[in-house]
Structure 1
Amino acid sequence: MIDFLLSGWGLLAVLDLGLAFLFSFIVISQKRDPAVTLAWVLGFFLFPFAGLFLYAFFGYQRFRLRRRFIPNPSRRLALIHEPTDLRAGLAPGLRDVELLAAKLTDYPVIGGNRVTVFDHSTETDTALTQAIRQAKHHVHMCYYIVEPDSTGLHFRDLLIEQAKRGVQCRLLMDAVGSYRVGRSFLKPLRQAGVRTDFFGPFRTFRRPWAFNFRNHRKLTVIDGNVGFLGSQNIGHNFWRVGSRRIRWRETDVRLEGPAVEELQTVFGEDWNYATGENLAGETFFPSPTVRGTTLVQALPTGPDRRENALAMIFLEAIHSARHRVTITTPYFIPTVPVALALESAARKGVRVELLLPRKTDHPVVDWAGRSWFKEFLQSGVKIYEHGESFLHSKVVTVDGHLALVGSANMDTRSFLINFELSLLLYDRGVAGHLVREFDRMAARAAVVHHDELSELSLTRQFTEGLCRVLSPLL
């Protein structure tokens, strides 16, 4: 025994054990969610050195050094106090949702907007192309994924065309999601005067742990008065499975009206952080113009803001439900509070329905999500699995009065780690459209029954259970 401890392997084992205890002390002292803490502690001891390495890059959940960008302090202050009358017109439950979201994000509800919903990626591509071609002053785009394929080249060439006409064009891409973008794609853009940059590139000696925080937003702002956001990235709208091409199913919105200023502010914050350039002035933030009647509240969330903001807003929305909740998401790994909220809503008589893809590009995520199915079904939650296309939409509706649309998935990364952007839409017409689209897809999807879950093998049950234990780290 003494000989082993004095050997090279023995010293490594002692070092790893000591580091495991040290890192466990650090994680426990941070008073995180118990499930997250337990997952990391188990990882330190079960995976020698690998667990420590992963924690060094992926264990941090706060992004403390992010700079804030406020283009017009007086206008922002006015917006914060303006919603009092608008809030009074909401149902009591929705009033609580709006108030909580405003306090957590500093983005209040804003009236006078027009919202157009796109249920298919081809609709979004067509509308976005037309809007970019009509740009007069600037085009600002921020996307998690930009692919150098035919779709990516199409939008690249559009930006080049507009830049040559004198339109200011800026393109911000996430360094991880857009890793395929190379010099051959960027060079023509920069030669034409399009300003491009990457969010969060890896830097070995400068906060390497920040590499874990990804900008998952999908956003375009044109001339400060038109905005696009939702689930769709810039790239082919299909997923290859062997020789087959499965189309992606997206949900995006076009926004016109005073709330576009909020989207421009979000882009300005991200752009300022990545480049240092400050986008301010009337050219980027023109005087708001009423375009419709929809009440809109922007929800920019991420590790730079109040912890668990997105999860708390979602929980408040679920608790406000009296009749029906629909959730459409590609990646479903609920936290325990979210799972309990859905179960309790179903048990008190609310019609809770989930529309999920039958299969995604991340099997571990599938298994972690399916580990909850049995409990949900026992509580009365109805689950549909969509197989016609790869379901990538991220939509929540509550009682046909409130809709949440954006980039956020129902998982830990979206709740705590990624920079996300969603919209709360307080509008029966918009929410009703999204409910009808949910019903249309659910009618063609497979209903998950309790019997098929009871027939799972012990190996499959163990796999799903293990993935659930590790889900806080996914």
Structure 2
Amino acid sequence: MKTRRVLLIALGLSCLLAGGAAGEPQVRPVVNREYLPAVLKLINEASESIEFIQLELNDDRTMAVVEKALAAAVQRGVRVRGLLDDGVRFNAASVERLLAMGVEAKLDTPEKMTHCKLVIVDGRLVLLGSTNWTGNSMYNNNETNLLLDDPVLAAAFTQYAARLWEDSAAEPNMPAVVSGPVITLLNRQYFPAVMELFAGATKSIHVIMYGVSYSPKYAGGKVNQLVEALVEAADRGVEVAMVVDLSNYNEVLNRVNQPLKDYLSTTAVALHDDPLEITTHAKLIVADDAVVVGSVNWGKDALENRNECSVLVRDAELAAYFVEYFNRPTVRGERCQ
């Protein structure tokens, strides 16, 4: 792989990976508090089109700023279209607000959750990852996203968005698209790609996952296979570390994550809680020099049914950035006993 350069900005809080050859995608991590200015810049500078697919769009002060930017884009002639999940109680009202400002908007089908967090601008820029369109997600959570500058990837995600707009209950049945070091992972493509990464890892694996529904009663299930693949990697000498969210308010999530903690406490995998006062909503995998960022939690429905979008990027410097992110004291808390 051609060498890529990383431009570190202010204490390493952000970086831009420029393609090593003309025409290669540019990839930039967008984490935590970086998301709001990044998405506003995309919207404010859009000249032709904005397409978004979001689990939720809340009616709060932060999203009022985003909605104002979307309305201004419509006023200057940009086509704006958005799909929201029908299962979130406030999304119907959000669709009405969007329609009133001239955005093409609707709810997805009730048959299937659309869990994506995806924005596509001008057929060239793609922002995707874990950040929901809520003030809480943008201002408080640990979140991981990538900003991709590449028309090939944008075209793939535009086609994906068009298929969900037409029928979000149907599987899009699109092949993975490769552009430079980036591979799209849509819906069911995530699981086999991650299993292959774990099987091939030789040095280290770092995982940050909001929720993991591991359970002995789900023997053979995809979540269990992912977790057991981590254990197998650790057993062959790979350094394996994982962070899951420990919530100070969501006891349901804590109960979901507890069987994972019970199991991994008996293995060589280093499992950590995040700091109690912080919600770690990120979904991140770093396996050697490969990075997976997207919307997928490790749950049965996420892996087998929901609409989810992620990317796999093979780049050593991007991997190093996210390992540093993993090790930040605001992300990796105490090791679970």
Instruction: Please indicate, yes or no, whether the TM-score normalized by the shorter chain is above 0.5.
Output: yes
Q: Cα gap change, 1:182/1:324 in structure 2, threshold over 3 Å: closer, same or farther?
A: same
Partner residue, 2:144: 251
Partner residue, 2:305: 417
2:316 to 425, 428, 447: 428
1:115 to 18, 27, 48: 27
1:315 to 188, 195, 200: 195
CA–CA separation in structure 1 for the residues paired with 2:95 and 2:85: 14
SS at match of 2:59: coil
Partner residue, 2:100: 191
Contact kept? 1:150, 1:235, Cα under 8 Å: no
CA–CA separation in structure 2 for the residues paired with 1:148 and 1:222: 23
Pairing of 1:113-152 with structure 2 (within 5 A): 113-120=25-32, 122-152=33-63
> Which letter maps to 2:272?
Y
1:297 to 151, 172, 183: 183
> Which letter maps to 2:322?
L
> Which letter maps to 1:181?
N
Q: Cα gap change, 1:348/1:360 in structure 2, threshold over 3 Å: closer, same or farther?
A: farther
1:386-414: CA deviation from partner (whole Å, max 9, x where unpaired): 11410001000001x10000000112121
1:395 to 244, 264, 284: 284
> Which letter maps to 2:156?
E
Partner residue, 2:242: 354
Q: Percent identity?
A: 21
SS at match of 2:181: strand
1:237 to 129, 136, 149: 136
CA–CA separation in structure 1 for the residues paired with 2:332 and 2:92: 40
Q: Point out where structure 1 has 5 or more consecutive residues left out of the alignment.
A: 1-85, 90-110, 202-209, 240-245, 276-292, 303-308, 450-474
CA–CA separation in structure 2 for the residues paired with 1:442 and 1:236: 19
2:118 to 205, 216, 219: 219
Partner residue, 2:206: 326
Contact kept? 1:114, 1:294, Cα under 8 Å: no
1:341 to 223, 229, 233: 229
Partner residue, 2:164: 270
Shift of 1:349: 0.8
1:213-249: CA deviation from partner (whole Å, max 9, x where unpaired): 200000000110111000001111259xxxxxx9211
> Which letter maps to 1:299?
L
Normalised by the length of structure 2, the TM-score is 0.82
Q: Cα gap change, 1:155/1:317 in structure 2, threshold over 3 Å: closer, same or farther?
A: same
SS at match of 1:445: coil
SS at match of 1:337: helix
Partner residue, 1:163: 74
User: Number of matched residues?
Assistant: 298
Shift of 1:362: 4.4
Q: Point out where structure 2 has 5 or more consecutive residues left out of the alignment.
A: 3-22, 170-178, 215-222
Partner residue, 1:44: none
Partner residue, 2:335: 447
Shift of 1:187: 4.2
1:120-159: CA deviation from partner (whole Å, max 9, x where unpaired): 1x31110110111111111111100111111222222211
SS at match of 1:440: coil
CA–CA separation in structure 1 for the residues paired with 2:260 and 2:92: 40
User: Going by fraction, where is strand more abundant, 1 or 2?
Assistant: 2
Q: Cα gap change, 1:236/1:265 in structure 2, threshold over 3 Å: closer, same or farther?
A: same
Normalised by the length of structure 1, the TM-score is 0.59
1:391-438: CA deviation from partner (whole Å, max 9, x where unpaired): 001000001x10000000112121112111000011111111101111
Q: Cα gap change, 1:371/1:134 in structure 2, threshold over 3 Å: closer, same or farther?
A: same
1:40-70: CA deviation from partner (whole Å, max 9, x where unpaired): xxxxxxxxxxxxxxxxxxxxxxxxxxxxxxx
Q: Cα gap change, 1:444/1:435 in structure 2, threshold over 3 Å: closer, same or farther?
A: closer
Q: Cα gap change, 1:117/1:192 in structure 2, threshold over 3 Å: closer, same or farther?
A: same
1:180 to 70, 90, 93: 90
Shift of 1:444: 5.4
CA–CA separation in structure 2 for the residues paired with 1:237 and 1:443: 17
CA–CA separation in structure 1 for the residues paired with 2:208 and 2:303: 16
Contact kept? 2:296, 2:308, Cα under 8 Å: yes
CA–CA separation in structure 2 for the residues paired with 1:372 and 1:272: 38
Shift of 1:369: 2.4
> Which letter maps to 1:393?
A
> Which letter maps to 1:430?
L
Partner residue, 2:155: 261
CA–CA separation in structure 2 for the residues paired with 1:269 and 1:361: 37
SS at match of 2:91: coil
Shift of 1:368: 3.4
Shift of 1:323: 1.0
Q: Cα gap change, 1:238/1:314 in structure 2, threshold over 3 Å: closer, same or farther?
A: closer
* Largest Rg, 1 or 2: 1
CA–CA separation in structure 1 for the residues paired with 2:294 and 2:63: 21
SS at match of 1:145: coil
